[in-house]
Structure 1
Amino acid sequence: MEYVSAGASGLMVSRLVFGNALTHGDQIDDETARDCVHTALDLGITTFDTADVYADGRAEEVLGRILGGRLRSELVLCSKVGRSKRPDPNAGRLSRKHIFDSVHGSLRRLGTGYLDLYQAHRFDDRTPLEETLRAFADLVRGGEIRYVGVSEWSAAQLRAAAGPARDLGVPLVSNQPQYSILWRVIEAEVIPACDELGIGQLVWSPLAGGVLTGKYRPGGPLPPDSRAATRGGARSIGRWHYLGEDVLDVVGRLAPLAESAGLSLAQLALAWVLKNPSVTSAIVGASRPAQLRENLKALDTVLDDDLYARVNETADPVVRRDPALTEDPLGPAPARSGAPAAASAAR
């Protein structure tokens, strides 16, 4: 395992981060979850990412039980605040009230006294930015959190927050955006802004919800043990239109490129993401321990420029690049021009 600094901070995180969105408390049972986390620890993964909204808090509870008894100083625990499906008008905000309520709930469910990294889970334009940042600063001073990050903020939002956060003594150290061979909306604006501001990228969905493993075939049935076969997974993957036949056709043409390099398609996809010098870590989930062992091999691979160029050329027809597609939690899911959004979501 490799370990790198989160942005310009001194916080060292593992190059692969274990994330439990859609798995713990939802897709897999607790025994399998335990096997996956223990495998991650055995492989040297020290950094674990979750959120209060995952499985309505159950994901944090499961992770907390599994990690209980581990030496806390050897772990980097990350959670997020700012999304909610509850009808409470204060839920899902980045207000001082919700941030304090949320962090205390996360600490209780995770069974820990502090979080190493606390991230604003999407921007909240209904709350003054200064209120949000002061709440984070007070939590750092109170010892409940150590570092502050964000998730899926636009370049303009990051620039607006970076100076005040630094002045308050809580510089933003990380951004958690979606990024993969198929989804590159951060390249044009977000990455340049973060490079300038000293903010690292902890990217989620580097395998495009499992699509970049090659398990889904154009026109074929969904594998019964796949993420897309679950209700939450189908909603997540369908939202980004990864199961369209044009995308799956491109994925099929990427497979021989991976094989020519002696890699699985998943290893190629992870190595592609990690080749970007602005990417701190890639967040990977797992429904089986074997998936983590396979993913780890990507750390031994540095794609040569020729293969990297061929991957880009092959994927180009279906790559999403528009910076405006950075997710807005208060608006509709982004729709791809001409794509059958309803049909994709249904799958």
Structure 2
Amino acid sequence: MNYRKVGKWGLKISELSLGSWITFGNQLDIAGAKEIVREAFKSGINFFDTAEAYANGMAEAMLGDILKEFKRSDIVVSTKIFWGGNGPNDRGLSRKHLLEGIWASLKRLQLDYVDIVYCHRPDPEVPIEETVMAMDYIVRNGLALYWGTSEWSAEELEEAHKVCEKLNCIHPVVEQPQYNMLVRERVEKEYLPIYEKYGMGLTTWSPLASGVLTGKYNNGIPENSRLAKFPNLRKHLEEKGMLGEKVFEKLRKLQKIADQLDAKLSQLALAWCLLNPNVSSVILGVTSIEQLHENLKAIEIKEKLSQDVIDEIKEILEDE
């Protein structure tokens, strides 16, 4: 396992990490989750990601129970605040919800602090000054060691940094965007000025595009697959055109490259994300030890990607 700095900052996290969205509390019970976390740690993964919204807080509670086994300084834990409940003050990025949200998250996680807390989405209803000052308070008071954002635009990030500068507040150090072979614009183009200017890192999610990049949906939706169990997710992917014949044609071409490298399509897709120097960690969502081991092999596949192969992949991805 390789460990990468989060942007220019001192925190080092495993290049592959373990997430808990959809899996913890939905597909995995505590016994299954514990087995996977233990094996992930044994394999060198030190970064574990969750959010207050995942399984309505159950994912945090499960992770908290499991992480008691580990020495605190050996692990990096992140959570995200935005969707905390149904009340008028239980969601968004107000000072009230950010503080009450982090206190509740820490209680569920049974931790004194998280390493990173993210603003899970931008909130146009709250002045950026209020959000920035609340995040500054959270970090200065030791509830989190760093703060970041998730799915903010480059414009919103720029504004946040300017306000931090103006108010002498601690700056965000990391963004958590979706990034995979089929969703590349934001990470590869929109954020380019941000990396250089502010030294932000990335912890990216959905590297396999909810399973599309495994190739298992090329000929329909298998009965026990994630898309069969979560119809809203399937609808979202269909609306984005990610379950169409154009995409499947690209996947068939990518599969040929994977075959030449003695790799699975999923491993090639993960390796592609790891090639990006601005990516600090790629967050995995797995439901079995076998799947975890399969995904971890992407680190070896990354080393096999010559410039010729990279150029061939780019040509396939950019072919309209």
TM-score scaled to structure 2, two decimals?
A: 0.93
RMSD: 1.7
The alignment status of 1:56 with 2:56, answered yes or no, reads yes
Distance in 2 separating the partners of 1:96 and 1:61:
23
**Residue 111 in 1 paired to residue 72 in 2?**
no
Paired position in structure 2 for 1:326? none
Give the match's secondary structure for 1:107: helix
SS of aligned partner of 1:52:
coil
> What's the CA shift string for 1:209-247, capped at 9, x where partnerless?
1111122123x2x22332112126535644544222322
Identity of aligned pairs, percent?
40
2:5 corresponds to which residue? 5
Q: CA deviation at 1:196?
A: 2.1
Question: Deviation digits for residues 175-220 of structure 1, max 9, x if unmatched?
Answer: 00111111112122223323321001111111111111122123x2
- Corresponding position: 1:36 with 2:9: no
Partner Cα distance (1:13, 1:240) in 2 = 31
User: TM-score w.r.t. structure 1 length?
Assistant: 0.86
Runs of 4+ more than 3 Å apart: 166-169, 232-241
Question: In 1, distance between residues paired with 2:274 and 2:128?
Answer: 31
**2:46 matched to which residue of 1?**
46
Distance 1:211 1:6 in 2: 28
C-alpha distance in 2 between matches for 1:293 and 1:194: 31
Please list the CA deviations of residues 275-299 of structure 1 after superposition, one character each: whole Å capped at 9, or x if unmatched: 1111111111101111111211222
Aligned position for 2:172: 172
Q: Distance in 2 between matches of 1:234 and 1:27?
A: 16
Helix, strand or coil: the match of 1:78? Answer: strand
Which residues in structure 2 correspond to 1:74-223 (within 5 Å)? Answer: 74-84=74-84, 86-166=85-165, 168-186=168-186, 187-218=188-219, 220=220, 222-223=221-222
**Alignment-derived partner of residue 252 in structure 2:** 252
Could you tell me how far 1:79 is from its partner in structure 2? 0.4
Q: 1:59 to 1:149 in 2, by over 3 A?
A: same
Asked if 1:21 corresponds to 2:21, the answer is: yes
Residues 100-141 of structure 1: CA deviation (Å, up to 9, x unaligned): 111011101111110100011111111111111111111112
Q: Distance in 2 between matches of 1:6 and 1:125?
A: 27
Give the residue type in structure 1 aligned to 2:142.
G
AA paired with 1:124?
D
Deviation of the 1:70 alpha carbon: 1.2
Which stretch has the larger CA shift, 177-186 or 239-248?
Answer: 239-248
TM-superposed deviation, 1:74: 0.8
Quote the offset at 1:4 in angstroms.
1.1
SS of 1:146 mapped into structure 2: strand
Q: Which letter does structure 1 place at the counterpart of 2:58? A: R
- Of stretches 61-70 and 227-236 in structure 1, the one that deviates more from structure 2 is 227-236
Q: Which whole-Å CA distance do the structure 2 matches of 1:109 and 1:237 have between them?
A: 32
Task: Name the CA distance, whole Å, in 1 between partners of 2:235 and 2:26.
Answer: 13
Which blocks of at least 5 consecutive residues in structure 1 are unaligned?
319-347
Displacement of 1:173 in angstroms is: 1.1
Contact 1:228 1:237 in 2 (8 A): no
Q: Which amino acid aligns with 1:62?
A: M
CA contact (8 A) 1:134 1:168 kept: no
Aligned-residue offset at 1:250: 1.8
Q: What is the alpha-carbon distance in structure 2 between the residues aligned to residue 270 and residue 170 of structure 1?
A: 32
Tell me, in whole angstroms, the C-alpha distance in 2 between the residues paired with 1:22 and 1:236: 15
Task: Give CA-to-partner distance per residue, 1:294-333, whole Å, 9 cap, x none.
Answer: 2112222232111111112222246xxxxxxxxxxxxxxx
- Structure 2 residue runs of 5 or longer lacking an equivalent are none
* Cα distance in 1 between the residues matched to 2:246 and 2:94: 41
CA distance in 1 between counterparts of 2:214 and 2:311 reads: 20
Name which of structure 1's ranges 34-43 and 294-303 shifts more when overlaid on structure 2: 294-303
